[in-house]
Amino acid sequence: MPRRNSFDSSQIMYRVDQLMKVAENRYQITVKVARRAKLIRDEEDFEDWDAPTTKPVIRSIVEVSDELTQPEILSDSRV
């Protein structure tokens, strides 16, 4: 069954642009996104394969961009 993305490509490109503007080190952001994608992929191994999901790299870009551009999300959860 083909996977369906819940994000359109323009939204993903906007988030990537935001990440690049905020990032002090592009390599560090790339590694962070890749590691997060690997964790997401490993989590999906235990989930239902028939459910349509977003690709791990897309999900990790969204999560990392939210983390870096909206730090109040993290500060509320860590208190």
Q: Per residue of the chain (79 residues), what is the pLDDT tens digit?
A: 455 556 788 889 999 998 888 878 889 889 999 999 999 888 876 665 555 578 889 999 999 988 877 765 544 444 3
* Domain residue extents for the chain: 9-78
Confidence (pLDDT) at 33? 92
Q: Which amino acid is at 45?
A: D
User: Which pair of tokens denotes residue 34?
Assistant: 């890749």
Q: Give the 3-state secondary structure of residue 19.
A: helix
Q: Are 58 and 31 in contact (CB under 8 A)?
A: no
Q: What is the pTM of this model?
A: 0.70
